[in-house]
Amino acid sequence: MLTNKDLMKEVTDYAERVSSHEMQVAMKVHTHVRRYLGDFLFREGFIEIPPVILSPITDPLNHPTLDPTFTCYGHNYQLTKSMIFHKQLAVLGYDKIFSFSPNLRFEPLERVKSGRHLFEFTQLDLEVRNASRDDVMALMERMYAGLMAYCVETLKDDLASIGRTLTVPAAPFRRVGFLDAKEQYGESFENDLSRDSTDPLWIVDIPLLDREFYDREDPERPNILLDMDLLYPEGYGEASSGGEREWEYAQIMKRIEKKEQDPLDFCVLVDLAQEGKIVPSAGFGIGIERLVRYICGFDRIEMAALFPKVPGKLCI
């Protein structure tokens, strides 16, 4: 049970965290990262949309989370796990959109061991109307390499003060097939590939049931998705996920059924698709705390967040 004493202990810890040298650097990096990414996307012609915190529809994800719902004005709302469906709706009005989107995912407790999971984090989430997977992969490569070059130039002394040396990767990044990687490394292939690599790399050709229903099935290769994950090098694991989206009604319904989910949970998307109003698009989301963690070379993601939400812990 929460007592004032427990809370005070936490608050005391926070006071130490906030003034530590690592946190000073982390928040400076965080400030530069958000500014760089926002400016980069502005130059690329993107519109920034405000984040959505509560909605009747949100990302079903590809793994279970503990999902509280809120009843307000007689309607059920969920906390945003990702803005995927709002992105698909927003591109009906704008060609290129992004949001710095707070996401709440009450992750299974064992995920705390990964060092890269919080239960509240921020995603830079973007979507481009009529884009292909290759288009958004090239966009990510420009953005990622540009950000690393910027950090090496602007934040060199700050990073050196915490013992971090960054390198700037050259595009295009290596692409590795999901099934090939699994065959070579086994179930832990993402962590192993990330650990063995000195540059970021893509995982592609992901089987249909291994990702969410909204990522598009390749019409040329049934059961393989037109989506991708980006892995950080040096063992930092997954940086980003994204892909082309399903937009045709019959295909959306087929995919929801294959995942044994309920179309009613995705009502706005399904209804608009039935009216033929959803358009082709592609996009991705990249977690900001994971990005700051990687740039700073921290052991754990909580070192990259001022008020980190660590699964299982009492966090203010």
Footprint of Mg ion (CB under 5 A): 241
Segment holding 281, helix H or strand E: strand 281-287
Site string for ligand ATP, 156-195 (x = CB under 6 A): ----------------------------------------
Site string for ligand ATP, 48-87 (x = CB under 6 A): -------------x-x------------------------
252 touches which of ligand ASP, ligand ATP, Mg ion, none (CB within 5 to 8 A by kind)? none
Whole-number minimum distance, CB 276 to ligand ASP, in Å? Answer: 23
Angle between the N-to-C axes of helices 21-43 and 4-19, in degrees from 0 to 180, rounded to the nearest 10: 70
Whole-number minimum distance, CB 243 to ligand ASP, in Å? Answer: 6
Nearer to ligand ATP, 118 or 256 (CB): 118
Tell me the site size for ligand ATP, rule CB under 6 A. Answer: 19
Whole-number minimum distance, CB 223 to ligand ASP, in Å? Answer: 19
3-state secondary structure at position 173: coil
Question: Which one-letter DSSP state was computed for residue 266?
Answer: G
140 touches which of ligand ASP, Mg ion, ligand ATP, none (CB within 5 to 8 A by kind)? none
Number of residue whose CB is nearest ligand ATP: 287
Q: For residues 92 and 89, what is the distance between their CA atoms, to the nearest angstrom?
A: 6
123 binds ligand ATP (CB under 6 A): yes
Binding site for ligand ASP (CB under 6 A): 59, 82, 84, 123, 125, 241-243, 283-285
Residue 113 and residue 89 in contact, taking contact as beta carbons nearer than 8 Å: no
Q: Which residues contact 291 (CB under 8 A, 6 or more apart)?
A: 33, 239
Q: Are strands 96-104 and 47-48 parallel, antiparallel or unpaired?
A: parallel
Structure tokens at 208: 């249909």
Whole-number minimum distance, CB 9 to ligand ASP, in Å? Answer: 33
117 touches which of ligand ATP, ligand ASP, Mg ion, none (CB within 5 to 8 A by kind)? ligand ATP
Q: For residues 104 and 79, what is the distance between their CA atoms, to the nearest angstrom?
A: 6
Nearer to Mg ion, 58 or 241 (CB): 241
Query: Which range, of 68-76, 89-97, 161-169, 236-244, touches ligand ATP by CB under 6 A?
Result: 236-244
- The dihedrals phi and psi of 285, each to the nearest 5 degrees, come to -130, 135
CA distances from 268 to 56, 58, 272, 275 (A): 9, 11, 6, 11
254: left (phi over 0), alpha (psi -120 to 50) or beta: alpha
Structure tokens at 123: 């995603």
Residues 257-316 that bind ligand ATP (CB under 6 A): 285-287, 289-290
272 touches which of Mg ion, ligand ASP, ligand ATP, none (CB within 5 to 8 A by kind)? none
Q: Which of 85, 121, 173, 294 binds ligand ATP (CB under 6 A)?
A: 121
Q: Which residues contact 80 (CB under 8 A, 6 or more apart)?
A: 51, 52, 53, 54, 55, 58, 59, 101, 102, 103, 104
Structure tokens at 32: 């530069």
5 touches which of Mg ion, ligand ASP, ligand ATP, none (CB within 5 to 8 A by kind)? none
- What is the binding site for ligand ATP (CB under 6 A)? 61, 63, 105, 107, 116-118, 121, 123, 237-241, 285-287, 289-290
